[in-house]
Structure 1
Amino acid sequence: MFRLHTSVVFAIIVVFHVVVRTAEAQAATPPPAPVPCSLKSNTSCEECLHNVACLWCIPTKACIEYPVKNILPPGSVCHLNDARWGVCWLNFQALIITASVLAGVIIIAVIVCCCCCCKCDRIGNRKEDARVERQNRARKENQKARRSEMQMRHDEIRKKYVMKHKEKGKPWM
């Protein structure tokens, strides 16, 4: 279980490191001014998608600005099966489905990890509680043994004291 948590943390660190390095590299070299998407119509998908703000529509061979007001491009612009964004070999519908499945898997993995951590904490707490309970019982037993030992010593001292007083003929109290 510990190895699973370690590997997840390591993967997160590696991803964070890659993102930071990419951000640093992009910050170091300013990007060239983007060419408007409409100028790349009737070219190729690869040419259009050099600019991440562009969307390629296969049937019309149109390179258009991605409609950022909508999360998904409406059917009037281009059908999801015919739209390409980011890469030419993957249609927009498959991209959305793949991203949704990956997001679902990541969410489920996080929930499972959280549940496992909580379960381990509860088991650890139970073990800790049992250990503390055993220590308390042992402490009480030791305390009882010491009390009975002290009581025996006190009784012996009382007997000796009473015997000495009786021998001398003095009253006990």
Structure 2
Amino acid sequence: MRALFPGRFQPFHLGHLAVIEWLLTKYDEIIVVIGSGKDSHSIYNPFTAGERMVMIRNGLKEYNMDFKRVIFFPILESFTGGLWIRIIEQYSPKFDVIVSGNPLVVTNAKEAGYIVDLPPMFNRDLYNATKIRKLMIENDNKWSELVPKSVYEFIKEIKGDERLRDVAKSDY
């Protein structure tokens, strides 16, 4: 069976990694879809789709995940409306189930007729991209403990944390 795991991954963190590890114990293949591919350089979406692909690849490699069983690609759309499922159907290999803990994604998937598998929430209070971005904006290095080391190093290399602080500044 093949599972589809959609997310924005802004940034890819240890909770995302735990879900992928869990999925690899349940499914033959996983399709990781990176949403909001057209959005970047904002507080909500600071990283480009390409940067997020590198983060995911680096994190999976760091934790010795089986790349032969993981397909990942970006889509331009966000997951806020039902259209994203139809777009994925055009570009993605066939999949049997959609995996998400996001209530809107779950609702869209069910309305489109898909089976939904809810992953365990791996310490969701700690591994939360909004919280991680807030720590970056506050220049609090505690965020480094919430992402794979390779992701931290990549974000520092591209100065992604500085970018986020810059876009968070008000011009008032």
TM-score, normalized by the shorter chain, greater than 0.5: no
Work out which of the two has the higher radius of gyration on C-alpha atoms and give 1 or 2: 1
Instruction: With a CA cutoff of 8 Å and minimum separation of 6, indicate the structure with the bigger relative contact order.
Output: 2
If each structure's helix is expressed as a fraction of its own residues, which one has the higher value? 1
TM-score range, shorter chain: under 0.3
If each structure's strand is expressed as a fraction of its own residues, which one has the higher value? 2
Q: Given the two structures, how large is their TM-score scaled by the length of structure 2?
A: 0.20
Q: Given the two structures, how large is their TM-score scaled by the length of structure 1?
A: 0.19
